[in-house]
Chain A
Amino acid sequence: MATEIRTPGTLPPLPPYVPPGGPRRPPRRRRTGESLSTWRYGDRVAFALCWACGLALCLIAAAIVVYLGVRGVQYLTFTLLTTHPEAGLDQAKTGGFLDPIVGTVLLTVIGIAIATPIAVGTAVWIVEYGRPSAFARAVESGIEIVAGTPDIVIAIFGLALFQQHLFAPLSLTADGGAVFGRSFMTAGAMMSLIALPMVFGTTREGLQAVPAHVREASYGLGKTRIATIRRVLLPSVRSNISTGMALGMGRICGDTAVVIVLLGATLRLESEGSIPGFNALKGTGSTLTSYVYNNSPAGEGNAPQKAYAAAFVLLLIVVALNLAVDVIARRGSQTGLQNGRLGA
């Protein structure tokens, strides 16, 4: 073919490029890295063990959650959530658990309200002041001891403590003159001991993570130490405090021993005295945990259906608190002064 002169712009479209060997296939995903065959025998056993443990963990977790969910949905009815419990004989047919739910909420609020100021104050003191240092170490070890104490020991300590006459205003005093010693106030005080290490731990971690230059900047501007704490440090560890509070509330919700010993074991909320509001605190009641315990075969309630329903509600509350912890922690890591990032 003689060479033809083609003017630009009139070239016919070229056929699509096909590389030799056929059309280009999308590259197959090759497993990068090593294959298991290059590993030593012991390492292969360990690998299998890891997978076995991981799968077993998933199975157990799924089994617990699914079983409680199935049983809970099976037995939970709306009337159970809104009727008061009755001390009837045939527990399977009478009454619900409205009062235990209110009792759980009330006790959690009291416990965390007492624990948070004390825990935050102590954490601030230890991180910012901490003199004399032996005393500071003693306080830290003390809080570790409380964290490791069994809840039943804290409960019987509370019983011994609050039956002294000094604490008469906290619970009812009978006409015999002795102090009953068991009420929401006393149980709440012991619950605060249980939640204290959680709030203390997270607050202390948060305060220690605030870099020194933030404090130095504040001192450089002429603020006193307490003003720095109030205006700069505490707002920046807000998310840590909230995480600790949510963790503490989860622990309070789940505690049974203190409730059984210190809450007076009345099925309904009975208030005591005549000051509105405060009389509920001085009175007795029950919570979801003691309700589950009493209705399981270990107690006298003899109604496992109600125990399952109450356990399901309790699990939902714990799940909600856990979600709150996750949300707060995630939001807090994006803001705040820790890790050297400045920002609101």
Chain B
Amino acid sequence: MNPVRRLGVGAVAVAVLGTAVPATASAAPVITMSGSTSVAPLASLLAKGYLKDRRLKGKLKFKLAQGGSDVGVADVAAGRVSIGNSSRDPKDSDSGVVFNKIAKDAICLITNPANRLPNLTQNQIKSIFSGDVRNWEDVPGSTVSGPIDLTVRTAASGTQDAFQKIFLGPTKLSPIASAKSSNGLVQQTVKGNKNAIGYVSQDFTSGVNAPAYAGVSCNLANAKSGQYGGVRSFYMVTRGAARGGTKKFISWVQGSKVAQKIIATHWVPLR
């Protein structure tokens, strides 16, 4: 290769890597987080708020990866990251990790806009989702007729775990329910099928009808006041008790007023 071409190749390589490299390359301490995609927006806002509130810009770095609650818990248990974000409760098989609750999130039941179901009691939900009640004609208040199409989440989902614990209790979910792998898929399925019923996180209720649960409608205000019963917790998981910079961050999240204000924008703060 002649020298000019070699120079050209070198320039291109430097340019490609240069656009990929952020400006700073200092040795600031890093807090790495990985885990749930539902907690990720909250974690990103909290990280930015922490750096601003404690004036640590440039002195601390946050890295936020996603991948799912299970990935987060596994990563933190193996020591691959400092904090794991989890939207599900601790399982029996999670050993050696501590689940620190940071916020709460409401789970709403949703039906198609054509089905203006106003309210569902817990017994009704149990009988619908366990498969005892199969037709919309048998559900008082529904405005459609036909077989009930159950739309749930897959087993690995924290939302599914929370739904089972909060709404169903010991009742088993019907085996013919159609399991989707994300909130978006459940929302899209329910939007497109007038016989469908499902459950999503509270931010995914646009374009669908959200019936009230036990008389309390599903919105942020009711969840914050504690009236709405269907709330699940978000956790930041650490390996053993939190230490050092991680401990300071988590206690800031759980304690400081600034953090609670950030959480209150879309989620339910702990106090």
Contact = CB atoms under 8 A, between A and B. Distances in A.
A307 B66 CA distance: 18
A300 B80 contact: no
B9 to A, nearest CB: 11
Nearest to B17: A277
B21 A89 contact: no
A178 B239 CA distance: 12
Nearest to A106: B20
Interface string A168-208: 00001011111111100000000000000000000000000
Contacts of B26: 274
B66 A176 contact: no
Contacts of A175: 79, 82
B258 interface: no
B81 interface: yes
A238 to B, nearest CB: 13
A322 B183 CA distance: 36
B100 to A, nearest CB: 17
Contacts of A277: 14, 17-18, 21
A299 B79 contact: no
A276 interface: yes
A298 B184 contact: yes
A176 B239 contact: yes
A174 B19 contact: no
Interface in B29-66: 32, 34, 37-38, 40-41, 43-44, 63-66
B80 A274 contact: no
Contact of B38 (A177, A281, A296, A300): A300
B184 A302 contact: yes
Interface string B176-215: 0000011111011000000000000001100000000000
A270 B63 contact: yes
Nearest to B79: A176
B16 interface: yes
Contact of B32 (A109, A174, A275, A294): A174
Given A87-B41, A297-B187, A180 B80 contact: yes
B67 A297 contact: no
B4 interface: no
B78 interface: yes
A229 interface: no
Interface string A84-103: 00111100000000000010
Contacts of A294: 37
Interface stretch (A28-36, A211-219, A261-269): A261-269
A172 B81 CA distance: 9
Nearest to A300: B37
Size range of the interface on B? 35 or more
A276 B181 contact: no
Given A88-B41, A102-B20, A106-B16, A299 B184 contact: yes
Contact of A172 (B32, B182, B203): B32
Contacts of A172: 32
Output the residue of A89, A284, A298 with the most chain B CB within 10 A: A89
Nearest to A99: B20
Contacts of B80: 174, 176, 178-181
B16 A174 contact: no
A279 interface: yes
Given A298-B181, A300-B184, A301-B184, A174 B81 contact: yes
B164 to A, nearest CB: 20
B27 interface: yes
Contact of B183 (A105, A275, A284, A302): A302
A297 B27 CA distance: 39
Nearest to B61: A270
B25 interface: yes
Nearest to B191: A297
A271 interface: yes
A301 B187 CA distance: 12
Interface in A26-62: none
A280 interface: yes
B20 A269 contact: yes
A227 to B, nearest CB: 17
Given A279-B25, A297-B182, A300-B37, A265 B65 contact: yes
A104 to B, nearest CB: 11
A266 B65 contact: yes
Interface of B: 14, 16-22, 25-27, 32, 34, 37-38, 40-41, 43-44, 63-67, 75-76, 78-82, 181-185, 187-188, 203-204, 239, 266
9 contacts: A86-B44, A88-B44, A176-B79, A180-B81, A182-B65, A265-B66, A269-B22, A277-B17, A294-B37
Listed from nearest, the 4 A-B pairs whose CB atoms lie closest are A176-B79, A87-B44, A300-B37, A280-B20
